[in-house]
Amino acid sequence: MIDLHCHLLPGVDDGSKSMDISLKLANDAVRDGIDYALLTPHHMNGVYLNHKKAVIQQTQEFQVELDRHKISLKVFPGQEVRINGDLLTALDQDDILFADESGRYLMLEFPDDDVPSYTSNMVYELMQRGIIPIIVHPERNTRIMKRPDILYELLSRGCLSQITAGSYVGAFGHKVQKFSKQLIQAGQAYIFASDAHNLPNRRYEMTNAFSKLDREFGYDYVSRFSENAKRIINGDSLKLNDVKKVKNRLFRELY
Ligand SMILES: [Fe+2]
């Protein structure tokens, strides 16, 4: 199993505070069935800057520790990039890491409660450069929950999306869980990832999420999500979903 979003690097963001904690999280990942993990520290989110060169170096050092402790996890350098006005400059300066080595898939984060007004233009600029944004955890973005059409538009233009495994199994509450299911139903989900942090009540839920996906949507979805993750990390093309709109009456009432 491949995990394309986690905060396992020690001492770089709000993920793991120390190497001991990182090794514990890595053990948890392996126990949950994960073989490959893209390490995605926050970048340019207003608090954390994790530059490309540093992340590559830290990922190599972490791999050495994993090997030394006989933890069978292969890690790759990545970033969870917050959408921001300096993103194109950062790309020009070669300071952005992608999910794949060829620079095709970008793990793109929005603020928790907003989708900035320049998002549409930024996505256009990225796609002009041959970059495909993967919108991370849209199911937890309160603006998208109120106005799911925002995500629908982005996916219709060829963006992808990553649902956090914990969201789908209920770790972030009923509303997020229900919205996750609606997104999957509407073809608005491409992959699961852990978004693992070292936080109380936050556990690896990838196996649980895939089991639930199998129960609720069938094995075709399980194999498509798995295949998508593999294609993304390899920089290969994947088949776009037939994206439908989410009916959001429930969310209008709730918010
Ligand atoms: Fe994250």
Q: Looking at residue 121, which CATH number applies to its domain? A: 3.20.20.140
Tens of pLDDT, residues 39-87? 999 999 989 999 999 999 999 999 999 999 999 999 999 999 999 999 9
pLDDT given at position 254 = 53
pLDDT at 98 > cutoff 60: yes
Distance 213 CA to ligand 1 centre (A): 21
**Distance between CA atoms of 53 and 11, rounded to whole angstroms?**
16
**Distance between CA atoms of 231 and 7, rounded to whole angstroms?**
21
Q: How confident is the model at residue 12 (pLDDT cuts 50, 70, 90)?
A: very high
Tens of pLDDT, residues 21-36? 999 999 999 999 999 9
Strand order through the sheet with 160-164: 42-43, 80-82, 105-109, 132-136, 160-164, 191-193
Distance 130 CA to ligand 1 centre (A): 23
Distance 196 CA to ligand 1 centre (A): 7
Tens of pLDDT, residues 199-243? 877 889 999 999 999 999 999 999 999 999 999 999 999 999 999
Distance 11 CA to ligand 1 centre (A): 15
Distance 4 CA to ligand 1 centre (A): 10
Distance 62 CA to ligand 1 centre (A): 18
Q: How confident is the model at residue 248 (pLDDT cuts 50, 70, 90)?
A: low
Distance 94 CA to ligand 1 centre (A): 21
The number of distinct structural domains making up the chain is 1
Structural domain that includes position 176: 2-254
pLDDT at 140 > cutoff 80: yes
